[in-house]
Amino acid sequence: MSCLACCCASATCGLCSSVASGISRKSARIAYCGLFGASLVVSWILRETAAPLLEKFPWINTSDSYTKEWYQQQAVLRVSFGNFLFFAIYALIMIGVKDQNDRRDSWHHGGWPVKMIVWFLLVVLMFFVPNVIISVYGILSKFGAGAFLLVQVVLLLDATHSWNDSWVEKDERKWYIALLVISIVCYLATYAFSGVLFMWFNPSGHDCGLNVFFIVMTMILAFVFAIVALHPAVNGSLLPASVISVYCAYICYTGLSSEPHDYVCNGLNRSKAVTASTLTLGMLTTVLSVLYSALRAGSSTTFLSPPSSPRAGGKEALLEDPEDGKKNGEAEARPVSYSYSFFHIIFALASMYAAMLLSGWTDSSESASLIDVGWTSVWVRICTGWVTAALYIWTLIAPLILPDREFY
């Protein structure tokens, strides 16, 4: 048996080494995404299986009052903490990298066998950390998760404005018609979906005033977006307003669906026996959201690029790295196209966000078998929608309030 285990370990190490050696500059960003995705899978597996093992660790099992849900949260938080430290350390190391002649540029794109070993050791070491440190990390993760959601909002605003500007620049009738059609469809979808939310989260015979308030506020904000964007004094467009409206409606839905499973106004009536398919769908949605945000962060041309970065024409593909410098003996320094430090910060915050989803925002009142359920999650989601609305309206009225400043 021990011989079989050694063979498996050797084969695994050989596979990891082979994969790591095949990572190039252009695939480095997707490799970081793969490493982050692996951490989510590990968190999920340990959450489901590691509780009996953690009970045997005396530095973790320090009280007889700990429940199975508590040990599940510990498994998730400890993997997340190791993942967070890996990306946070890299973010600190990459501060100030402005051109490809900087030695740290090669550290960002290469050395993957060493990176994988360091990542693995950090995750393992977190299971030897005292409970008090993990508790502090759990508290800080709530704020880090909120910061990650705000980053998602900024990236969404950047993407919608870029989309609108790219079609307007074509200055052709068909593109203007396309903008109008998509905007109308988005607004119809927003109000139709809001009607569905009324049916799901305002069941007859129950006083669900809070849910009604959330839904009505979303509908009002969507209307306000259009009024402000189409005002003659505002240099706005209907497309970003409609896309943000759809997003706010979606955020409202995710907030309401996160209400406790036994809450009478939650028409979805979640049960504690969540099926594997439900967990898989929730995990897949989380992974796609996190990975897109990280990739978009690495390609954004607004607030992520260092001052020396070439921002003109920023139509860079998400999964490609245009920095193929240092070729053919090129001696002159080529600036990096995005902030390496901020790129790693995105993953560090995403580690906190994923930990909160998988641990139920460390809310002990809910079963840890439920992903992203509890009143903490509800208010985080709802407030995210309101912050999204505030930021979007600010992008419209800021040039009027501060005419002497340049916002684009």
Residues 187 and 216 in one domain: yes
Note whether 151 and 267 are same-domain residues: no
Residue 385 placed within a domain: yes
Task: With beta carbons less than 8 A apart as the criterion, state whether 242 and 182 touch.
Answer: yes
Q: Which of 201, 198, 193 is nearest to 264 (CA)?
A: 201
Cβ atoms of 201 and 211 within 8 Å: the answer is: yes
Confidence of residue 166 (pLDDT cuts 50, 70, 90): confident
User: Which two tokens mark 39?
Assistant: 């951490």
pLDDT digits (tens, 9 = 90+) for 333-362: 677 777 888 889 888 998 998 888 888 776
Structure tokens at 64: 């007889």
The whole-number pLDDT of residue 183 equals 92
Average pLDDT over residues 81-85: 95
Q: Are residues 41 and 148 in the same domain?
A: yes
- 156 or 287, which is more confident: 156
Domain that holds residue 121: 25-57+66-170+291-305+336-365
Q: What is the mean pLDDT of the chain?
A: 78
| Number of domains comprising the chain | 2
Q: How confident is the model at residue 290 (pLDDT cuts 50, 70, 90)?
A: low
For residues 300 and 159, give the distance between their C-alpha atoms in angstroms, rounded to a whole number.
8
Q: Which of 386, 397, 393 is nearest to 249 (CA)?
A: 386
pLDDT in tens, 105-134: 888 888 889 999 999 999 999 999 999 999
Which of residues 216 and 15 earns the better pLDDT score? 216
**Residue 257 forms part of a structural domain:** yes
Report the range of poorest mean pLDDT among 85-89, 267-271, 300-304, 337-341.
300-304
Statement to judge: residues 122 and 31 lie in one domain:
yes
Considering only residues 288 and 81, tell me which one the structure prediction assigns the higher pLDDT: 81
189 and 109 assigned to the same domain: no
Question: Could you tell me if 33 and 112 lie in one domain?
Answer: yes
Same domain, 247 and 224: yes
Q: Are residues 123 and 176 in the same domain?
A: no
For residue 5, what pLDDT is reported? 38
Q: Is the pLDDT of residue 14 over 80?
A: no
Q: Residue 236 pLDDT > 80, yes or no?
A: no
The percentage of the chain sitting over the pLDDT mark of 70, rounded to a whole number, equals 74
Q: How far apart are the first and last CA of the chain?
A: 64
Between 240-249, 254-263, 293-302, the lowest mean confidence (pLDDT) is in 293-302
Residue 131 inside a domain? The answer is yes
Task: Tell whether the model's pLDDT for residue 331 goes beyond 80.
Answer: no
CA distances 32 to 82, 154, 181, Å, are 15, 22, 38
Average pLDDT of span 27-37? 84
**286 inside domain:** no
pLDDT at position 234 over 80: yes
More confident residue, 314 or 264: 264
Q: Is residue 240 part of a domain?
A: yes
Q: Is the pLDDT higher at 162 or at 337?
A: 162
* Residues 297 and 215 both lie in one domain: no
- Inside any domain, residue 243: yes
Question: Looking at residue 376, what is its pLDDT?
Answer: 80
Which has more pLDDT, 366 or 42?
42
Lowest mean pLDDT among 10-24, 117-131, 191-205, 269-283: 10-24
- pLDDT at residue number 407: 54
Per-residue pLDDT tens for 267-287?
776 544 444 555 565 566 666
- 208-230 mean pLDDT: 93
- 261 and 398 belong to one structural domain: yes
- Could you tell me how far CA 126 lies from the centroid of its own chain? 23
pLDDT digits (tens, 9 = 90+) for 380-396: 889 989 998 998 998 88
pLDDT of the residue at 216? 95
For residue 406, give both structure tokens: 């340049």
- pLDDT tier for residue 85 given thresholds of 50, 70 and 90: very high
Confidence of residue 55 (pLDDT cuts 50, 70, 90): confident
Confidence of residue 221 (pLDDT cuts 50, 70, 90): very high
**CB burial string 302-336: b at 16+ within 10 A, e below:** eebbbeebeeeeeebeeeebebebeeeeeeeebbb
pLDDT band at residue 312 using 50, 70 and 90 as cut-offs: very low
Q: How far is CA 400 from CA 161, 264, 320, in A?
A: 18, 46, 37
- What's the pLDDT tens digit per position in 65-80? 788 888 888 899 999 9
Q: Quick one: 53 and 166 in the same domain?
A: yes
Q: What percent of the chain has pLDDT over 90?
A: 23
pLDDT of residue 21: 46
Are residues 79 and 335 in contact, defined by beta-carbon separation less than 8 angstroms? no
Flag whether 283 is in a domain. no
In a shared domain, residues 123 and 33? yes
Domain contains 314: no
